[in-house]
Amino acid sequence: MAYQTVTTSRRADISSTEQSQPDPGRIDRRAIPSHAVESSWETPDAHPIRRIDWPGAGETPRGSILFLPGRGDCYEKYLESLEQWHRAGWRVTASDWRGQAGSGRLGNDRVTGHIDDFALWVDDVAHLWQSWKAQTPAPHILMGHSMGGHLVLRAMAEQRVDPDAAVLSAPMLGFYGSVLPVSWMHRIADTMKRFGDPARPAWKWSEKPGEVPVTRINLLTHDEERYQDELWWRENRPELVMGPGSWGWVERAYESMRSLDRPDVLEAIRVPILLLGTSNDKLVDMIAIEAAARRLPAGELLKFGDEARHEILREVDPVRDRAMAAIASFLDRAAGSGQDEG
């Protein structure tokens, strides 16, 4: 499958004010579906990590999807997409990352995201993948958003996971707005990490720890209602709240991203991969996403413009619908309509 790009230049209606008639198939974004099961799994060093599963997918499931969210994220934000894939016949699982959402903290406080090394997260996903794959029907699809997309790609590059196909939403392959070479930015981050406590916050998030800045929506989505869903979950499950990353996280992020930039790393990944990105992203670097798509032998890129912000799967309906349709089409082509139990 050759690399190809689909660019969506059509501007979406970003008002999100029109109300449609009640839909009997509507998905409640503020409730765990009754048929989904929340539980936890343990890492080899006995760290408990939350997960949610949609175990039933009909008599002949199309296969299985494992979804991994971004930095500071929680799976509650993606219930709509997860439920939609389940209704399409997939057996669906989503998981926290160690040290995020309802899976503890690795730093000095409850709102700063810290990690000693991204390799720990790669180890975690490899461990989860091994057991999850053995218990779920094929084909097996691995999906990740932002930092989750980065870690999915790294785990694939290191041959720690072996999905039949992968989908990366706004993968964190570079940071937005860097004016200096990545090597210089990495050096600066390393200096800041060594200058003080590596677990201290790398940027100011709000005057009050845990409080969401008013302008945060402008980085994430045009959809006010979907953004409010996240705030609702934060209020009702305060353990989900996370603010800035630590200097340790920033330095390790640069190191991890640079590892994927090395020659022949992405070129060795033969698995079909769909990347979704937007030139309007103010968190991750769209140029880096495009470069990665070109390097992947079976890479495809769906590129949005001003109509989409970072959280494409939580955008207004015209944007999100195009993204979900593209994912469905990609999975039809890349993973087929279902295989035997794996």
List phi, psi (to 5°) of 240. Answer: -80, -20
User: Any residues with CB less than 8 A from the CB of 111 and at least 6 apart, and which?
Assistant: 205, 209, 210, 241, 242, 243, 244
- Domain-embedded: residue 149: yes
**Domain with 105 in it:** 4-12+26-335
User: Any residues with CB less than 8 A from the CB of 274 and at least 6 apart, and which?
Assistant: 165, 166, 167, 168, 299, 300, 301, 302, 326, 327, 330, 334
Query: Which pLDDT does position 76 carry in this prediction?
Result: 99
Q: Which residues pair with 140 in a beta bridge?
A: 64
- Domain-embedded: residue 269: yes
- Which residues of the chain form beta strands (DSSP E)? 4-8, 37-42, 48-54, 63-68, 90-95, 140-145, 165-169, 273-278, 299-304
pTM attached to this predicted model: 0.91
Q: What sign does the CA torsion over 140, 91, 67, 122 have? A: negative
If one counts every other C-beta atom within 10 angstroms of the C-beta of residue 30, the result is: 12
Q: Residue 222: what residue type? A: H
Q: What sign does the CA torsion over 23, 28, 33, 34 have? A: negative
- Domain-embedded: residue 341: no
Q: What sign does the CA torsion over 153, 154, 158, 163 have? A: negative
Query: Which pLDDT does position 25 carry in this prediction?
Result: 81
Low-confidence ranges of the chain (pLDDT < 50): 1, 7-22, 338-342
**DSSP letter, residue 245:** B
- Domain-embedded: residue 161: yes
CA 213, distance to chain mean position in Å, is 21
Number of compact structural domains in the chain: 1
Query: Which pLDDT does position 307 carry in this prediction?
Result: 98
d(CA 192, CA 238): 30
- Domain-embedded: residue 342: no
- Domain-embedded: residue 91: yes
Query: Which pLDDT does position 213 carry in this prediction?
Result: 75
- Tell me if 309 sits within 8 A of 280, measured CB to CB: yes
Q: Residue 205: what residue type? A: W
Q: How far is CA 335 from CA 213, 272, 330, in A?
A: 41, 9, 8
- Domain-embedded: residue 17: no
CATH of the domain at 156: 3.40.50.1820
- Domain-embedded: residue 18: no
Peptide bond into 201 cis (omega under 30): no
Query: Which pLDDT does position 336 carry in this prediction?
Result: 75
